């Protein structure tokens, strides 16, 4: 396929080491009429480091993707060659671009990938945690309730879980993950492909802790891998229901009661515990 063929190219860019930009990606970025980038200054700096000169950039990020979409589609209809990049790694994976690619597909406008660096894949390839199957969760939600709901929804998913997290929320999120997911292998991967690349291997324990204790704060971009569920004997429903009744009688806020029940049971998600508490509360009122 000619590199100048009019289309939207979805181009993977380096996570940190500029030498990871593929020759094909470099050629496409040089040939593109316009480069769509989350941060045009970072994109220009990357191109300069890689010897790509004289390019035009258009900012394209989460908060302007919707308003920029029609302009981009118009350029593609006119036969322009556009390249979509993110700040680092493969676009669309936790980065903007999905709505644009979907709109292109609906209109029959050609879209082609230029594969390359991807933080989830890079982390998984070198962490030593079971790679298949795996579920990529993107960035964890900012609020604690959102993080709890997301982790609970995937508590029983087979395989490993991979997500991005900010350094200032990392410890809190891992303690929450330990409480919800139970004992599992853990890898905290930071600064992938960069000078200070580091893989911190440890464990989430069934008591809601992390071992070894993480050095805080951890600097740089962080990718977390939590290993697959370990085979545990699930506490019988009757025992958990009895626990629910006892803990309800002790009192406390619903979340505190649910946490006490879940810490005493094995193999039960937060959603299941809340359902049991609701049933136990309904029974007590009758």
Q: Which of 37-41, 77-81, 178-182, 215-219 has the lowest mean pLDDT?
A: 215-219
Asked whether residue 272 carries a pLDDT value surpassing 90, the answer given is no
- Per-residue confidence (pLDDT) for residue 224, from 0 to 100: 97
Q: pTM, whole model, 2 decimals?
A: 0.77
Tell me the torsion sign for CA atoms 96, 117, 24, 42: positive
Contact predicate 226/181, CB 8 Å:
yes
Proportion of the chain above pLDDT 70, given as a percent: 95
- Per-residue confidence (pLDDT) for residue 263, from 0 to 100: 77
- Per-residue confidence (pLDDT) for residue 4, from 0 to 100: 57
Proportion of the chain above pLDDT 90, given as a percent: 57
Asked whether residue 5 carries a pLDDT value surpassing 80, the answer given is no
- 99-140 pLDDT, tens digit per residue, is 999 999 999 999 999 999 999 999 999 999 998 899 999 999
Alpha-carbon span 209 to 149, nearest angstrom:
19
SS (HEC) of the chain: CCCCCCCEEEECECCCCHHHCCHHHHHHHHHCCEEEECCHHHHHHHHHHCCCCCCCEEECCCCCHHHHHHHHHHHHHCCCCEEECCCCECCCCCCCCHHHHHHHHHHCCCEEEECCCCHHHHHHHHHCCCCCCEEEEEECCCCHHHHHHHHHHCCCCCCEEEEECCCCCHHHHHHHHHHHHCCEEEEEEECCCCCCCEEEEEEECCCCCEECCCCCCCCCCEEEEECCCCCCCCCCHHHHHHHHHHHHHHCCCHHHHHHHHHHHCCCCCHHHHHHHHHHHHHHHHC
Give the confidence band of 237 by pLDDT, cuts at 50, 70, 90: confident
């Amino acid at each position: 396929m000619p590199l100048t063929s009019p289309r939207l190219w979805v181009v993977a860019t380096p996570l940190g080491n500029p030498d990871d930009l593929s020759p094909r990606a470099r050629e496409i970025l040089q040939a593109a009429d316009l480069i769509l980038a989350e941060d045009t200054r970072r994109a220009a700096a990357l191109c300069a480091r890689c010897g790509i000169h004289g390019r035009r950039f258009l900012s394209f990020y989460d908060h302007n993707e919707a308003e920029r979409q029609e302009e981009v589609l118009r350029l593609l209809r006119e036969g322009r060659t556009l390249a979509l990049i993110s700040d680092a790694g493969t676009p669309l994976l936790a980065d903007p671009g999905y709505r644009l690619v979907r709109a292109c597909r609906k209109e029959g406008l050609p879209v082609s990938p230029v594969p390359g660096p991807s933080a989830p894949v890079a982390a998984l390839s070198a962490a030593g945690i079971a790679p298949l199957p795996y579920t990529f969760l993107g960035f964890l939600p900012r609020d604690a309730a959102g993080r709890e709901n997301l982790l609970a929804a995937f508590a029983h998913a087979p395989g490993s879980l991979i997500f991005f997290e900010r350094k200032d929320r990392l410890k809190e999120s891992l303690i929450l993950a330990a409480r919800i997911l139970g004992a599992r292998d853990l890898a905290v991967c930071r600064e992938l492909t960069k000078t200070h690349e580091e893989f911190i291997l440890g464990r989430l324990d069934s008591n809601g802790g992390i071992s070894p204790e993480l050095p805080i704060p951890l600097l740089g971009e962080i990718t977390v891998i939590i290993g697959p569920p370990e085979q545990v004997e699930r506490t019988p429903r009757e025992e958990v229901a009895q626990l629910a009744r006892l803990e309800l009688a002790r009192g406390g806020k619903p979340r505190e009661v649910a946490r006490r029940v879940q810490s005493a049971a094995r193999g039960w998600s937060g959603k299941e515990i809340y359902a049991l508490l609701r049933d136990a509360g309904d029974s007590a009122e009758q």
